[in-house]
Structure formats: structure tokens, C-alpha cells
Amino acid sequence: MELKRVVVTGLGAITPLGNNVNDTWEALINGVSGAGPITQFDASLFKTQFACEVKGFEPLDYFEKKEVRKYDRYAQLAIAAAKEAITDSKLDLENVDKNRIGVIFSAGIGGIKTFEQELCGYDQEKGPKFNPFFIPKMIGDIAAGHISIMYGFHGPNYGAISACASSTNGIIDAFNLIRLGKANVIVAGGAEAAISVGGVGGFTAMHALSNRNDSPTTASRPFSASRDGFVMGEGSCGLVLEEMEHALARGAKIYAEVVGGGMSADAYHLTATHPEGLGAILVMKNALEDAELNPEDIDYINVHGTSTPVGDISEAKAIKQVFGDHAYDLNISSTKSMTGHLLGAAGALEAMVCIKAVETDTVPPTINHEEGDNDPEIDYNLNFTFNKAQKRVVNVALSNTFGFGGHNASVIVKKFVK
């Protein structure tokens, strides 16, 4: 069976840096941090009091007033990003075969705000009284459901859940379904909105978050010796993946081609990556094999790079192991230094970053690295694209995402050539 080729024809994003793709990309290449004090709840008693929040998002710009109460914030962000991506794709929604269009929109956590609100409102003396939308608002697959209902898309429909690798797994699933001929188009992406009492409190209890309350904008500092944890982010990103001939037949703009995806497990620890990066090594090798590419073909890696003490070291080691001498010719960057960690939505956003890097031949930076702030366990001969975007030819880019539970996923995109 000859596999079909898969291209990207639409992009959408709601992020801590902007409420569309263009604003987000401009902020990224200009090294802007999206971090600031938490505004969504009173965090004054919390050890971590800042995050990368989406700013200026108004649900009524996207939904009728009576609809808003049906959606958790994570689903609102998902639908908004999907709308931008679908509009950007210029699909003819009146004449396209909707039985051949699917939605795979993922989350690592889902509707935690709804969960907290409903349980905090429970009165044991008066008995249970829950909102009928409680469960449909909370579950992690519901964003995909809403998008399919909104557009009448009858193809494959679900959300992948693999912690911070969720939306990358969803993109890989979409890629495989299309190249196997199971769908013509899939709207793939991820959304997360876990900046809440439980979300921040839970990650703080794990000692996963940065405590740099005196300087939130410099707190996310991947690959620097002074890094002390990740900065929580929220947001959504959507991609329209399309079978190449289907896209060409309608004259679609093609941003890039998806050429491979890899998955692996660390099988090591619930929350920590393997110290030697064994799972990361395997997932990148699997992605390269799937794409039928050599390590030397990769120009840019958007790393998982969360700014945690162990994770950054193991990923840098893994890159050296997989790419050998070519590792020193790569550009590497962690855009989490600017967006924070969007958890289940991180993979979709960082795949979009790779697509834009391929489109524009521009690598966004890893910000917040100060001269001399070097970890002896990290090889600084690697080009981490510190502090300033770099222009270079980016023919092929790889995005890494690693999730709690040892879930690893990598996806590869390249310049489209018919």
C-alpha cells in the first residue's frame, strides 16, 4: 500500500503571547516572555505566584452568551484556535466531504477549573446539586466533540491523553490516519487551562514549578544552571492536516509537510525523565526512521526543554547521542522560555513553531540565559539559540514532547516540495 503524503494547510493559536498565530510568532521571534503574576485566582499564599496566562481572551468574541456556560475555559481556547486554523485553511465547508474530515484535539488535564468549581460548591448537608454540564465540560475529549459538532465533521473524533505529549500524539495519529487513507483532513491540536488552585497547587507540591516570584519573566530559563522548574502556561493551538492531493486540488496554501512521527516510553519514573535520556533517544530515532531521514537532515529541534533541573540535562545528552557530530550544526531552542509550559497543548504549539521556522527560515530563541550561567553537565558547544532569534535555512524541523508517565512523542516537518 502506498502511503499518502500529509501537509499542513491551516494554523490557529491562542497563547500567552497572542490570541492568533501572527501575534504569537512575532512575540516568539522577538524573545518576549508571556509570564506574569497569576490573575485567575488569589495566589498570594502559594509558593509559586506567577504563570503564563492567556491575556485579553473574551469568550463572547467567539460564542453566543448562552453558549459560554457550556464550555470549560480549556474548551473555549480549543474552539477558538480551531476556528482560526479552519478559517486559515480556506476549506470550502459547503462542498467538502465532511465524512472525511476528523478532529483530534487533545488535553493532558482538561476541565480542571470546572471540576474545582463543582466540588467546591458541594454542600454535604444540603446534598448533591451539580450543574448538568459538569461532566461534559470537564472531560478531556470534549473539545474535539464540540469542534466536530460545530462544523459537522463526521470523521475520526477524539482526544489523545498522554500528559505533556498529548497533542503531539494527536498530531501523529492524524498524520497516520490521513496517510493510510482513513481521512482527507483532520483538525489536530491541543488545549489546556490548568492555571487554577488545583493545577498550580498540585504542581507546586511536586516541586515542579519555578519559585522565582521576584522576576516571573526570567523564570523559565532552559539549559541555564540557575533553572529551578517550569512556568505553567495555558492556551491552545490547532493545525489543519490534509492529504496532499486533496490540498493541491483545491489550491490550498501549504505551510509544510508532516513526514514522520515517533513514540516511546521511558519506562523509568512517574515524573522524571531517564537521566541518560534513553526514552528521548529512542523517540527521536523512531521519528527519523518513520520519516526516512538521516540525523544530518534535521536543521532545527524545538526541544521539550521545560527548565527543570533533570529534564534539560537528559534531553541535551539525548540529542548528542542521536545526532553525533551533526548536533553541533543544529539549532536548538526551547520556546517554553517564552510561552511557559502549556502541558497537553505544548506539543501542538511547538509543532506550529517548527512549521513557522520551516516557512520563514527563522529559529526563535531560548531566552533568559545569562553569560556564565552554565551547568557543568550541559555541553554549551550546542547551539541553544540563546536570547536572540537566528536566520538560517530550515528545511526540516523536529519537535520533542515528553510527558509524566514517561510518554515521549516527536514529530518531524519539512519544507513542502511537490
- 384 domain residue, yes or no: yes
State how many domains the chain has. Answer: 1
Average pLDDT over residues 215-229: 98
The rounded distance, in Å, linking the Cα atoms of 333 and 236 is: 20
Q: pLDDT of 237-288, one tens digit each?
A: 999 999 999 999 999 999 999 999 999 999 999 888 888 889 999 999 999 9
Mean per-residue pLDDT, 393-408: 97
Please give the residue range of the domain that contains residue 271.
6-414
Of 52, 146, 164, 237, the active-site residue reads 164
Q: ∠ CA(199), CA(201), CA(206), 5° rounding? A: 100
- State the sign of the Cα–Cα–Cα–Cα dihedral 260, 153, 348, 405: negative
246 catalytic, yes or no?
A: no
pLDDT at 119: 87
Q: How confident is the model at residue 377 (pLDDT cuts 50, 70, 90)?
A: very high
Residue 109 contacts residue 346 (beta carbons within 8 Å) = no
* Residue 369: active-site member: no
Kindly name the residue from 304, 354, 369, 407 that is annotated as catalytic: 304
- Is the pLDDT at 54 greater than 90? The verdict is yes
Hey, what's the cell of 173? Answer: 495519529
pLDDT per position as a tens digit, 325-355? 999 999 999 999 999 999 999 999 999 999 9
Cell 470546572 sits on residue:
114
In a domain, 1, yes or no: no
Residue 1's pLDDT is 77
CATH number at residue 107: 3.40.47.10
Is 120 considered catalytic here?
no
Q: Is the dihedral of CA 79, 80, 85, 87 positive or negative?
A: positive
- Percent of the chain predicted with pLDDT > 90: 92
Look at residue 358 and tell me if it is in a domain: yes
pLDDT digits over 115-164, tens only? 999 888 777 777 778 888 899 999 999 999 999 999 999 999 999 999 99
Residue 272 lies in a domain: yes
Buried/exposed 317-353: b ≥16 CB within 10 Å, e otherwise: bbbbbbbeebbeebbbbbbbbbbbbbbbbbbbbbbbb
Question: Residue 396: is its pLDDT beyond 90?
Answer: yes
Give me 149's grid cell.
Answer: 459538532
